[in-house]
Structure 1
């Protein structure tokens, strides 16, 4: 769905790869994130992330700034144009999702709702177990 929304944007300057889009999502969630942290989050080598940043900066979606506490490090932030691009993709994704669900027969919608509720319960249980084991290891 993300890919379809990304490809259906009308912008001629849209990121050309899923990796660039993932980088934009990471930066959008943590404005001013350090380049080193982005590399860790994406599990990518610094030269790869640098090239993606070069491309995104060239099309006006991203800017690099010096970190306030360590001027030798680089922080990343989306430009208003970059934020607008992500908003367009999210809006298109939401529209596609709503249309697909609206087109489903009622029985399939109920099955989807049941399956998603079950998935959420499992994720909550796993998340709770994760925190409980973290609490025990700290004690």
Structure 2
């Protein structure tokens, strides 16, 4: 007989409402700045594929599908479109020519740089209206949040051994 999973105890966080509000404001900013902040001519899903390939040059379709939690036909179609747009290159893996590896083209890398530059400019404009102390606190807090999001889930109070 299996036991029903128990929920992890919830610790109240005073920052959750503020973080939720920031996420909502970012959505509004991206929508308002659709022309300057968008990922066009690519969809958000296609852009996400480029980010993954940039982080893991030479990734194969299977591993990419795992990152996307997507079926092989969907991943193949995404890559077909990116290759047709000139942002992605597929080449045989040198160690096993039957396996295909994915790499960004110069145009793909330039597209990601352009997105980051445009979004960075918008963020700089907003952050320039903040005090240096507030900017520093934000940077520290966001860094800690990124670390927490990317770490494997652990029960509260669990110490990870290294």
Structure-1-length-normalised TM-score:
0.73
CA shift for structure 1 position 68: 1.4
**Distance verdict in 2 for CA 1:110–1:85, change over 3 Å:** same
Instruction: State which of 30, 39, 55 in structure 1 corresponds to 2:56.
Output: 30
CA shift for structure 1 position 8: 2.4
**Distance verdict in 2 for CA 1:25–1:6, change over 3 Å:** farther
Moved over 2 A (4+): 1-11, 109-127, 132-135
Alignment of 1:87-98 (within 5 A): 87-98=113-124
**Distance verdict in 2 for CA 1:110–1:24, change over 3 Å:** same
Alignment of 1:1-139 (within 5 A): 7-8=35-36, 14-15=41-42, 17-102=43-128, 104-106=129-131, 110-111=133-134, 113-121=136-144, 133=160, 135=162
Any conservation in 2 of the 1:9–1:89 contact (CA below 8 Å)? yes
* Counterpart Cα distance in 2 of 1:9 and 1:115: 21
Aligned residues: 129
Q: Bigger shift: 55-64 or 68-77?
A: 68-77
Q: Which of structures 1 and 2 has the larger relative contact order (alpha carbons within 8 angstroms, sep 6+)?
A: 1
Any conservation in 1 of the 2:127–2:135 contact (CA below 8 Å)? no
**Distance verdict in 2 for CA 1:61–1:6, change over 3 Å:** farther
Query: Which runs of 5 or more residues in structure 2 are unaligned?
Result: 1-25
* Counterpart Cα distance in 2 of 1:21 and 1:125: 24
Query: Which runs of 5 or more residues in structure 1 are unaligned?
Result: none
CA shift for structure 1 position 34: 1.2
Whose radius of gyration is greater, 1 or 2?
A: 2
Larger helix proportion, structure 1 or 2? 1
Structure-2-length-normalised TM-score:
0.64
